[in-house]
Structure 1
Amino acid sequence: MTLRLSTLLLPDDVAPGAFSLLVARGLRGMCDGFIAVLLPAYLLALGFGQLAVGLISTTTLFGSALATILVGLIGNRFAQRTLLLFAAALMTATGFGFAGLSSLWPLLVVAFVGTLNPSSGDVSLFLPLEHARLAESATGDARTALFARYSLVGGLSAAFGALAAGLPELISVHSAMSPLAAIRVMFIVYATAGFVNWLIYRRLPACPPNTDTPRIPLGPSRGIVTRLALLFSVDAFAGGLLVNSLLTLWLIQRFGLSPGTAGQFFFCAGLLSAASQLAASSLSRRIGLLNTMVFTHIPSSACLIAAAFSPSLALTLALLLARSALSQMDVPTRSAYVMSVVTPGERPAAASFTAVPRSLAAAVAPTLSGVLLGLGWFGAPLVACGALKIAYDLSLLYAFRQVRPEGESSWRKGR
């Protein structure tokens, strides 16, 4: 059964060990899905306000950035499996920490050192480690297809996880458990998933099976990776203005949505995002990785800006769903692009180096959004997010239209 499932999920010419990474990504994605929706409700139930939601999100992303920096600096000294096992153990500790604490400062400490993810994408310590491992499991178009499946699994699992955000409400209605206690149970589920991921990573070989390339710090590709990292940081800052936790808070405050209803919306949004990520591989073969990243991203940002001025809930949700159908097509193509324009030995360092500015830039933004929402400027985060993302897309196209990824023919470079 496992063999048949791995054959369906994996493209041709991919190392079988990549299947374990897809399973781990799916389990983690489910947890990220319901945590992103439940986090603001949990903090509000503890008696905190909008600023606390922003602070927790900011602290979490800063901690992820620091962990990613360490991976880039010293990660080549350790086996990737060892680092993945450590990350999974940290995920378990994070879940138990949030389940058992109620004061803001202890929660901020756990958020900083832990793996909590308040956004729709994976911005944790796992990201550069798994990306580097996946990049070594395939080449050319097969690598793009593998990243697309990785993103698809993450998107689908996050969608079903968001749907699970309604479970605490059901539990509290049909039992004597309070809503706050029911949400704490979900953090215990998060901790348990971290332990299961630890068991999955433990089965991985210490070294990827199909490569003898030593891992080295950035060298020949430093210039191009630096430029990519700077541009990615703009995109990440924009995205940080509207991580899923803050978008949930915005929907709750502007339209009075319950966490369960918000979870249903994010479920639909996640399904659309997952489907679009699967289509990204096919589209990139036709128009190229860079064009796929840019020309699907700009319309999604326009939908987000329009949602800020929408007068009704129905129209707002429709615009946000349209955004979801396009906004994530750049995720697998971006990862594949980075891995394709650097030398094989530099891939782990490049994955970390491009992830660090993203995490740092994204970390600054949630607190700013929390302040804006607290002041009653409800549309400001959406407009700023959309405008900055459009500026990023245009800058990326201009700066890299002449850079040819590995295995991509010249007519698909965006010339």
Structure 2
Amino acid sequence: MMAGDEWWRPIPQGVSRDALWILAARGARSFADGFVALLLPIYLLELGFSAFAIGSIITSTLIGSALLTLWAAIIANRHPRRRMLLAACLLMAATGVGFALARDYWPILIVAFVGTLNPTAGDVSLFLPLEHTVLSQTVEPRRRTALFARYSLVGTLAGAIGALAASIPDLAVDWVGMPRLAAVQLMFGLYGALGIVSLLLYRPLSQAVEAPSAGRQAPLGRSKGIVYGLMALFCIDAFGGGFFVQSLLALWLFQNFGISVATAAAILFWTSICSAISYLLAVPISERFGLINTMVFTHLPSNICLILVPFAPDLATAIGLLLVRSALSQMDVPTRTSYVMAVVTPAERPAAASITAVPRSLATALSPLLAGYLLTVTIFGWPLIIGGVLKATYDILLLIKFRKLRPPEEGGAQTGPHQTGG
């Protein structure tokens, strides 16, 4: 286990330079994700789209990201990881340009499908499994959870600052009289520019990030049952989360409370700060109580808070519930990633990362369309209630199925095909 006084360090000991480049690139991308997730519904509303049309575009972004991630997983053993990351950055740059120029529904839908736009509070793009695999190779197992906590921390803090940056178009309108639509389009251009910045940060990655052996490998071996079981449960969690992705949560706040973009940005900023703190706290808690217990017993109360949000009598109460939820809900992110990487063999990690990420993205993609339809029928927060119930169901099933399957660093036995749960 990691020494008890290391969880608070900005960077865990023994982290390579490659890991630092990955963390820096994650920060640049998450900053971009932070403002586009909030500006996307604003932009589409400005163009005259309905809540259902907005939901369909968000669904398109998530389905496209999932299929792209699946394709990347299929060819991952035949192409250098660094080259794939650089190609993903070029696609990110093209996505920003496409959104900045498109105004009609079908062009926007197509760009959303083939691009890298991320309407969620987390990362659902093809960058994720590639970075997870690389990071797992750059640190010893007992410090893995701490490194993934910093990876999530960097992403969340950068995303929080990005959410604040979503108010820049309003400032441009007030200060220089720029048309609101043009100001938002410039922000999508900035998103594309940050794709180029990410490319420059990935370029120095060394040969150490590549697969240890060349040639084609079987995606999964003896850990297949474990990975598929986790995948199924993660899909339930992701399907529930898709009902209130960042863009849809912002849309619901706009509709229900009539808040401004600056107010929405402030709410999302502070919820992100709460999440960022929770990433660091997840490390000592998981060392004391185990990865699965940390995932479940922090995630379940957060989902109860989420279910209560639509019943809040005023904005202040809703914000309070969202803050409490954010302080608890994200402790499962670094622990979940660390758990998946720990219970499979090193050779299986790229496949495990993709197999657990791609179906999550597909499951997340289905629910925004339903949520968008519900928001056209009523402004009551049914998407939040449905999402919270589904995610709570995931927590309970995860505890029942995997509580007794512990990774080696927690004292568990080596995983095998017979070990599929508790």
Give the match for residue 302 of structure 1: 304
Per the TM alignment, residue 377 of structure 1 is displaced from its structure 2 partner at its CA by: 5.0
Give the match for residue 43 of structure 1: 44
Give the match for residue 3 of structure 1: none
Query: C-alpha distance in 2, partners of 1:99/1:297?
Result: 37
Per the TM alignment, residue 75 of structure 1 is displaced from its structure 2 partner at its CA by: 1.1
Structure 1 residues 85 and 386: alpha-carbon distance in aligned structure 2, compared to 1, 3 A threshold: same
Q: Give the partner amino acid of 1:313.
A: L
Q: Give the partner amino acid of 2:356.
A: T
Give the match for residue 158 of structure 1: 159
Q: Give the partner amino acid of 2:69.
A: T
Matched residue SS, 2:206: coil
Query: C-alpha distance in 1, partners of 2:177/2:391?
Result: 46
Alignment of 1:202-241 (within 5 A): 202-208=203-209, 212=212, 216=217, 217-241=219-243
Q: 1:356-385, CA deviations, whole angstroms, 9 ceiling, x for partnerless residues?
A: 110110000001000000001522101101
Matched residue SS, 1:119: coil
Given candidates 218, 243, 246, the residue that maps to 1:244 is: 246
Alignment of 1:263-342 (within 5 A): 263-342=265-344
Query: Is 1:408 the equivalent of 2:410?
Result: yes
Query: C-alpha distance in 2, partners of 1:124/1:232?
Result: 16
**Does the Cα contact within 8 Å between 2:371 and 2:383 map onto a contact in 1?**
yes
Matched residue SS, 2:220: coil
Aligned residues: 406
Query: C-alpha distance in 2, partners of 1:154/1:404?
Result: 27
**Does the Cα contact within 8 Å between 2:167 and 2:265 map onto a contact in 1?**
yes
Query: C-alpha distance in 2, partners of 1:205/1:282?
Result: 31
Give the percent of matched residue pairs that are identical in Structure 1 and Structure 2: 54
Matched residue SS, 1:12: coil
Give the match for residue 35 of structure 2: 34
Alignment of 1:13-412 (within 5 A): 13-208=14-209, 212=212, 216=217, 217-410=219-412
Q: 1:224-281, CA deviations, whole angstroms, 9 ceiling, x for partnerless residues?
A: 1001001000000000010000000000000001111100110001100001011111
Q: 1:124-182, CA deviations, whole angstroms, 9 ceiling, x for partnerless residues?
A: 11100100101111122211100000000001011111111111101111112111111
Higher deviation after alignment, 264-273 or 214-223: 214-223
Query: C-alpha distance in 2, partners of 1:207/1:89?
Result: 23
Q: 1:200-226, CA deviations, whole angstroms, 9 ceiling, x for partnerless residues?
A: 1111124428x8356831111111100
Query: C-alpha distance in 2, partners of 1:382/1:369?
Result: 9
Contiguous gaps of at least 5 residues in structure 2 = 1-7, 414-420
Per the TM alignment, residue 53 of structure 1 is displaced from its structure 2 partner at its CA by: 1.4
Query: C-alpha distance in 2, partners of 1:72/1:346?
Result: 12
Query: C-alpha distance in 2, partners of 1:248/1:189?
Result: 21
Query: C-alpha distance in 2, partners of 1:212/1:47?
Result: 51
Matched residue SS, 1:241: helix
TM-score normalised per structure 1: 0.95
**Does the Cα contact within 8 Å between 2:256 and 2:379 map onto a contact in 1?**
no
Query: C-alpha distance in 1, partners of 2:343/2:274?
Result: 29
Give the match for residue 418 of structure 2: none
**Does the Cα contact within 8 Å between 1:135 and 1:339 map onto a contact in 2?**
yes
Query: C-alpha distance in 2, partners of 1:329/1:278?
Result: 8
Query: C-alpha distance in 2, partners of 1:228/1:410?
Result: 17
Query: C-alpha distance in 2, partners of 1:409/1:303?
Result: 33
Query: C-alpha distance in 1, partners of 2:400/2:385?
Result: 23
**Does the Cα contact within 8 Å between 2:255 and 2:379 map onto a contact in 1?**
no
Q: Give the partner amino acid of 1:393.
A: D
**Does the Cα contact within 8 Å between 1:79 and 1:207 map onto a contact in 2?**
no
Q: Give the partner amino acid of 1:363.
A: A
Matched residue SS, 2:166: helix
TM-score normalised per structure 2: 0.94
Per the TM alignment, residue 308 of structure 1 is displaced from its structure 2 partner at its CA by: 1.3
Query: C-alpha distance in 2, partners of 1:90/1:394?
Result: 38
